Amino acid sequence: MSDGRELDLQLHLLDRQVQDPDRRMICKVDDLELELDASGRPYVTAILAGPRALGPRLGGRLGRWMAAIAGRLATPEESEIPRIDFAQVTEIGSAITIARTSDELNVAPLEGWLDRHVIARIPGSLHESE
Amino acid sequence: MKASDLIGRPVLDSAGRRVGIVTDLRCIQDGPLRGAMAAPRVHEVILSSRRVGSMLGYQRQEQRGPWLVRLIVRWLHRDLMVLPWESVQLSDDGEIRTLTVTGDRHRPR
Protein backbone atom coordinates (compact mmCIF):
# COMPACT_ATOMS: atom_id res chain seq x y z
CA MET A 1 0.00 0.00 0.00
CA SER A 2 1.38 3.39 -0.93
CA ASP A 3 2.15 6.16 1.52
CA GLY A 4 0.27 9.44 1.24
CA ARG A 5 -3.12 7.73 1.50
CA GLU A 6 -5.91 9.60 3.26
CA LEU A 7 -7.43 7.82 6.27
CA ASP A 8 -10.04 8.89 8.79
CA LEU A 9 -9.22 7.33 12.15
CA GLN A 10 -12.81 6.65 13.20
CA LEU A 11 -13.96 5.53 9.77
CA HIS A 12 -10.99 3.50 8.56
CA LEU A 13 -9.18 2.23 11.67
CA LEU A 14 -11.18 2.20 14.91
CA ASP A 15 -13.22 -0.97 15.55
CA ARG A 16 -11.69 -2.74 12.56
CA GLN A 17 -10.65 -6.38 12.83
CA VAL A 18 -6.93 -7.04 13.27
CA GLN A 19 -5.73 -10.21 11.55
CA ASP A 20 -2.45 -12.06 11.17
CA PRO A 21 -0.82 -12.81 7.78
CA ASP A 22 -2.93 -16.00 7.53
CA ARG A 23 -6.12 -13.95 8.09
CA ARG A 24 -6.67 -15.39 11.58
CA MET A 25 -8.49 -12.91 13.80
CA ILE A 26 -6.38 -11.41 16.60
CA CYS A 27 -8.34 -8.54 18.12
CA LYS A 28 -10.17 -5.34 17.26
CA VAL A 29 -8.76 -1.84 17.04
CA ASP A 30 -10.24 -0.62 20.34
CA ASP A 31 -8.24 2.61 20.44
CA LEU A 32 -5.16 4.16 18.86
CA GLU A 33 -2.06 5.48 20.57
CA LEU A 34 -0.97 8.89 19.28
CA GLU A 35 2.22 10.87 19.67
CA LEU A 36 2.93 14.46 18.70
CA ASP A 37 5.60 15.13 16.08
CA ALA A 38 8.01 18.06 16.25
CA SER A 39 5.37 20.41 14.84
CA GLY A 40 2.76 19.29 17.41
CA ARG A 41 0.76 17.21 14.93
CA PRO A 42 -0.46 13.81 16.25
CA TYR A 43 0.41 10.62 14.41
CA VAL A 44 -0.53 6.99 15.07
CA THR A 45 2.09 4.93 16.88
CA ALA A 46 0.16 1.84 17.97
CA ILE A 47 -3.11 -0.08 18.03
CA LEU A 48 -4.56 -0.54 21.53
CA ALA A 49 -6.72 -3.59 22.14
CA GLY A 50 -8.84 -5.17 24.83
CA PRO A 51 -11.40 -4.07 27.41
CA ARG A 52 -9.01 -1.63 29.08
CA ALA A 53 -8.72 0.25 25.77
CA LEU A 54 -12.38 -0.04 24.81
CA GLY A 55 -13.84 0.75 28.25
CA PRO A 56 -12.73 4.39 28.46
CA ARG A 57 -13.88 4.89 24.88
CA LEU A 58 -17.37 3.63 25.70
CA GLY A 59 -17.49 5.82 28.80
CA GLY A 60 -20.16 5.74 31.47
CA ARG A 61 -20.66 3.05 34.06
CA LEU A 62 -20.36 0.19 31.57
CA GLY A 63 -17.05 1.48 30.25
CA ARG A 64 -15.59 1.97 33.74
CA TRP A 65 -16.81 -1.45 34.81
CA MET A 66 -15.33 -3.11 31.73
CA ALA A 67 -11.92 -1.48 32.20
CA ALA A 68 -11.85 -2.12 35.97
CA ILE A 69 -12.70 -5.83 35.68
CA ALA A 70 -10.11 -6.36 32.96
CA GLY A 71 -7.53 -4.51 35.04
CA ARG A 72 -8.24 -6.71 38.08
CA LEU A 73 -7.89 -9.89 36.03
CA ALA A 74 -4.62 -8.90 34.38
CA THR A 75 -1.46 -10.47 35.77
CA PRO A 76 1.46 -8.17 36.82
CA GLU A 77 3.21 -8.81 33.52
CA GLU A 78 0.00 -7.79 31.74
CA SER A 79 -0.26 -4.47 33.58
CA GLU A 80 0.04 -2.42 30.37
CA ILE A 81 -2.86 -2.13 27.91
CA PRO A 82 -2.12 -4.58 25.07
CA ARG A 83 -0.64 -2.65 22.16
CA ILE A 84 0.51 -3.49 18.67
CA ASP A 85 3.13 -1.10 17.33
CA PHE A 86 2.09 0.45 14.03
CA ALA A 87 5.39 -0.85 12.60
CA GLN A 88 3.74 -4.32 12.59
CA VAL A 89 0.92 -3.17 10.29
CA THR A 90 1.33 -4.43 6.73
CA GLU A 91 -2.05 -3.61 5.19
CA ILE A 92 -5.02 -1.38 5.96
CA GLY A 93 -8.19 -2.50 4.25
CA SER A 94 -11.55 -3.72 5.50
CA ALA A 95 -9.36 -5.43 8.13
CA ILE A 96 -5.95 -4.43 9.49
CA THR A 97 -3.30 -7.03 8.67
CA ILE A 98 -0.21 -7.25 10.85
CA ALA A 99 3.03 -9.19 10.52
CA ARG A 100 2.69 -11.07 13.82
CA THR A 101 0.47 -13.84 15.20
CA SER A 102 -1.77 -13.75 18.25
CA ASP A 103 0.57 -16.03 20.24
CA GLU A 104 3.51 -13.70 19.65
CA LEU A 105 1.58 -10.62 20.76
CA ASN A 106 -0.47 -11.70 23.81
CA VAL A 107 -3.08 -9.01 23.11
CA ALA A 108 -5.97 -10.88 24.72
CA PRO A 109 -5.04 -11.28 28.42
CA LEU A 110 -8.69 -11.61 29.44
CA GLU A 111 -9.06 -14.61 27.15
CA GLY A 112 -5.81 -15.97 28.60
CA TRP A 113 -7.15 -15.58 32.14
CA LEU A 114 -10.40 -17.36 31.20
CA ASP A 115 -8.37 -20.09 29.53
CA ARG A 116 -6.18 -20.64 32.63
CA HIS A 117 -8.81 -20.24 35.36
CA VAL A 118 -12.10 -21.39 33.82
CA ILE A 119 -11.66 -23.40 30.64
CA ALA A 120 -8.69 -25.40 32.01
CA ARG A 121 -10.86 -26.59 34.96
CA ILE A 122 -13.56 -28.07 32.75
CA PRO A 123 -13.08 -31.85 32.58
CA GLY A 124 -11.80 -32.80 29.16
CA SER A 125 -10.56 -29.34 28.29
CA LEU A 126 -6.95 -30.48 28.41
CA HIS A 127 -7.58 -33.25 25.86
CA GLU A 128 -7.10 -36.01 28.49
CA SER A 129 -9.03 -38.44 26.32
CA GLU A 130 -6.57 -38.19 23.46
CA MET B 1 -2.39 10.36 24.12
CA LYS B 2 -5.10 8.22 22.58
CA ALA B 3 -7.47 8.81 19.67
CA SER B 4 -10.35 8.64 22.15
CA ASP B 5 -8.84 11.59 24.03
CA LEU B 6 -9.70 13.72 20.98
CA ILE B 7 -12.63 12.02 19.22
CA GLY B 8 -15.83 12.95 21.03
CA ARG B 9 -14.25 15.98 22.70
CA PRO B 10 -15.94 19.37 22.37
CA VAL B 11 -14.16 22.09 20.41
CA LEU B 12 -14.44 25.66 21.69
CA ASP B 13 -13.95 28.99 20.02
CA SER B 14 -11.72 31.67 21.46
CA ALA B 15 -14.62 32.99 23.56
CA GLY B 16 -15.17 29.58 25.12
CA ARG B 17 -18.36 28.82 23.17
CA ARG B 18 -18.80 25.30 21.87
CA VAL B 19 -18.23 25.04 18.11
CA GLY B 20 -18.88 21.31 17.83
CA ILE B 21 -17.68 17.85 18.75
CA VAL B 22 -14.79 16.01 17.14
CA THR B 23 -16.33 13.16 15.14
CA ASP B 24 -13.20 12.09 13.29
CA LEU B 25 -9.56 12.88 12.66
CA ARG B 26 -8.55 12.96 9.00
CA CYS B 27 -5.02 11.68 8.47
CA ILE B 28 -2.57 11.33 5.63
CA GLN B 29 0.02 8.57 5.74
CA ASP B 30 2.92 10.99 5.70
CA GLY B 31 4.09 10.58 9.30
CA PRO B 32 7.32 8.98 10.49
CA LEU B 33 8.12 5.70 8.76
CA ARG B 34 7.13 2.80 11.01
CA GLY B 35 7.85 -0.61 9.57
CA ALA B 36 6.54 -1.00 6.04
CA MET B 37 4.56 2.22 5.85
CA ALA B 38 4.37 5.79 7.04
CA ALA B 39 2.29 6.44 10.14
CA PRO B 40 -1.07 8.18 9.60
CA ARG B 41 -0.67 11.81 10.72
CA VAL B 42 -3.59 14.08 11.60
CA HIS B 43 -4.18 16.87 9.10
CA GLU B 44 -7.80 17.82 9.69
CA VAL B 45 -10.35 17.66 12.49
CA ILE B 46 -13.94 16.85 11.49
CA LEU B 47 -16.56 18.50 13.68
CA SER B 48 -20.29 18.11 14.04
CA SER B 49 -22.84 19.40 16.54
CA ARG B 50 -24.01 15.83 17.04
CA ARG B 51 -22.24 13.49 19.41
CA VAL B 52 -24.36 10.49 18.49
CA GLY B 53 -24.37 9.04 15.03
CA SER B 54 -21.58 8.25 12.67
CA MET B 55 -21.30 9.86 9.28
CA LEU B 56 -20.84 6.33 7.87
CA GLY B 57 -18.31 7.77 5.43
CA TYR B 58 -20.88 10.10 3.87
CA GLN B 59 -18.77 13.12 4.71
CA ARG B 60 -16.75 12.10 1.67
CA GLN B 61 -18.05 13.10 -1.74
CA GLU B 62 -16.86 9.83 -3.29
CA GLN B 63 -19.06 7.85 -0.90
CA ARG B 64 -22.19 7.34 -2.99
CA GLY B 65 -24.15 4.48 -1.39
CA PRO B 66 -27.94 4.41 -1.20
CA TRP B 67 -29.06 7.94 -2.01
CA LEU B 68 -31.74 8.02 0.68
CA VAL B 69 -29.26 7.05 3.41
CA ARG B 70 -26.81 9.59 2.03
CA LEU B 71 -29.43 12.33 2.13
CA ILE B 72 -30.52 11.50 5.69
CA VAL B 73 -27.01 11.23 7.09
CA ARG B 74 -25.87 14.43 5.39
CA TRP B 75 -28.96 16.28 6.62
CA LEU B 76 -28.38 15.09 10.19
CA HIS B 77 -24.79 16.29 9.98
CA ARG B 78 -25.50 19.35 7.80
CA ASP B 79 -23.38 21.50 10.08
CA LEU B 80 -20.29 19.33 9.57
CA MET B 81 -17.07 21.32 9.53
CA VAL B 82 -13.48 20.48 8.79
CA LEU B 83 -10.72 22.31 10.58
CA PRO B 84 -7.09 22.18 9.53
CA TRP B 85 -5.07 20.86 12.48
CA GLU B 86 -3.02 24.09 12.43
CA SER B 87 -6.15 26.06 13.32
CA VAL B 88 -6.78 24.00 16.45
CA GLN B 89 -4.96 24.52 19.69
CA LEU B 90 -4.64 21.50 21.95
CA SER B 91 -4.34 22.20 25.65
CA ASP B 92 -3.57 19.36 27.97
CA ASP B 93 -4.97 19.90 31.44
CA GLY B 94 -4.20 16.61 33.10
CA GLU B 95 -6.70 14.05 31.85
CA ILE B 96 -8.91 16.60 30.06
CA ARG B 97 -7.75 17.78 26.66
CA THR B 98 -9.42 20.83 25.17
CA LEU B 99 -9.43 21.86 21.55
CA THR B 100 -9.82 25.55 20.72
CA VAL B 101 -10.34 26.95 17.24
CA THR B 102 -7.84 29.66 16.44
CA GLY B 103 -7.99 29.75 12.65
CA ASP B 104 -10.03 28.91 9.58
CA ARG B 105 -12.81 26.41 9.33
CA HIS B 106 -14.51 25.12 6.23
CA ARG B 107 -17.17 22.72 5.04
CA PRO B 108 -16.06 19.25 3.96
CA ARG B 109 -15.22 18.49 0.39
Candidates A33, A41, A53; nearest CB to B42: A41
Q: Compare A19 and A2 and report the one with higher pLDDT.
A: A19
Candidates A6, A14, A43; nearest CB to B31: A43
Residue-wise pLDDT tens digits, A71-82: 787 777 777 888
Candidates B3, B4, B29; nearest CB to A5: B29
Residue-wise pLDDT tens digits, A68-116: 887 787 777 777 888 899 999 999 999 999 998 877 877 766 677 777 7
pTM, whole model, 2 decimals?
Answer: 0.78
Sequence-ordered strand ranges (E) for B49-106:
81-84, 88-93, 96-101
Identify any residues that bridge with A43 across adjacent strands, giving them in sequence order: A35, B41
How many beta-carbon pairs under 8 angstroms link A with B?
Answer: 113
Short-list B67, B87, B77, CA closest to B108: B77
Residue-wise pLDDT tens digits, B56-101: 666 666 666 788 887 887 777 777 888 888 888 877 664 556 677 7
Output the pLDDT for position B87: 84
Q: How far is B78 from chain A (nearest CA, A)?
A: 18
